[in-house]
Structure 1
């Protein structure tokens, strides 16, 4: 497979890093996959330097592991980090959706509706990767619409292991209409300015991953730490 770089508005190093991270998060490079500087450089048609720098950066984020005498690998999913990220998201997102119920500008409501329309299409087509992207986009709209964009960006720094777990869940079970339905209920609660209902639905939504973890770890033991 040819992984020629798509046009990017930044450096080769950043382009390699961005695309490697995307492949890891979308499980195109599954947990435990060995990584080679030489092979990756050839695939991306770049020198080894930006590849080496990207590996180091991904290692700092916990997505790549360098094992002496053994090589470099995509890191396994750490269930403790998954739960910690989920806990943080639950606390912040419950607070944000309450703010949204107090005041949420009309342009952001329109963005939610467009996002939901696209989610509905993903459910019909069983499009895992687009569904995960739209799920993230839905939650980001809530943060942007409540002037908490920087909080969202900081939160993403802890989400790497959680996001891989979420992607695995979508790939494992294409029946994710319930995710769309929960998002639909959240948007309706915001419109109705029903804070208690919105907070309850958000907690239920983010708690799904707790039950999923045990099942996924049993089904994909080689993917987990």
Structure 2
């Protein structure tokens, strides 16, 4: 689905509001109030909402309203499985291709992450910026081995996973820093070409997220669907 340039501000802003939990799962979002917010007619708002519905972030219910979708745990399980299988293969390729140019790219991303923790940011702002930088780290892996299209495809499927990540990290600076340390360890072992160590770090990295997610979901089931 293609969205016109004139509607992109509404689409991008509301999408970010959803992904970064400024709009909560299950929350009603008004077409009229949104048009007032952006000082535009309802037509571009309606088109932006349809695009977000197509992406699985909004649900438009006839004669009721438009709601932010619940976070789908089944979709999260699927994307985690895909990410683990594909990303570990990408890391193997990265070890083979690693050079000074790639090294510089990762150094800049890791320095940027470190600077976030020194900036005394509000917890919500820190979480948003770190998650963006976290995505940059993983994107750089795919880009460095010529598979950016695969990354873009995976990201198009990750909307539910992104929201869960924001939920889990918005008030937990300690966990964000542990993610940063994981990145440092992965980077160090890419340089050492120690794939078995990277695989161990990566799987533990994913498992911690799963364990924390299970606790949060049990305490906040109203935000989720396909809860077992």
When the two structures are superposed, what TM-score results if normalisation uses the length of structure 1? Answer: 0.90
Residue of structure 2 equivalent to 1:6: none
Q: Deviations over 1:14-43 (max 9, x none)?
A: 221111111110111111121111110110
Residue of structure 2 equivalent to 1:196: 196
How much is the aligned-residue C-alpha RMSD, in angstroms?
1.5
Give, in angstroms, the shift of residue 220 of structure 1.
2.3
User: Quick one: which of 53, 60, 65 aligns to 1:66?
Assistant: 60
Name structure 1 gaps, 5 residues minimum. Answer: 1-9
Give, in angstroms, the shift of residue 98 of structure 1.
1.1
Give, in angstroms, the shift of residue 181 of structure 1.
0.6
Runs of 4+, deviation exceeding 6 Å: none
2:17 is the alignment partner of 1:26: no
Residue of structure 2 equivalent to 1:181: 181
Give, in angstroms, the shift of residue 148 of structure 1.
0.7
Residue of structure 2 equivalent to 1:209: 209
Residue of structure 2 equivalent to 1:90: 84
When the two structures are superposed, what TM-score results if normalisation uses the length of structure 2? Answer: 0.89
2:222 and 2:116 map into 1 onto residues whose CA distance is: 28
Q: List aligned pairs for 1:58-207, cutoff 5 A.
A: 58-124=52-118, 125=120, 126=123, 127-175=126-174, 176-207=176-207
Q: Provide the secondary structure at the position in 2 that maps to 1:135.
A: helix
Are 1:98 and 1:199, in contact at CA under 8 Å, matched by a contact in 2?
A: no
2:112 and 2:220 map into 1 onto residues whose CA distance is: 30
Give, in angstroms, the shift of residue 73 of structure 1.
0.6
Are 1:98 and 1:198, in contact at CA under 8 Å, matched by a contact in 2?
A: no
Count of aligned pairs between the two proteins: 216
Residue of structure 2 equivalent to 1:221: 221
Name structure 2 gaps, 5 residues minimum. Answer: none
Give, in angstroms, the shift of residue 208 of structure 1.
2.6
Are 1:17 and 1:58, in contact at CA under 8 Å, matched by a contact in 2?
A: yes
2:183 and 2:154 map into 1 onto residues whose CA distance is: 20
Q: Provide the secondary structure at the position in 2 that maps to 1:31.
A: coil
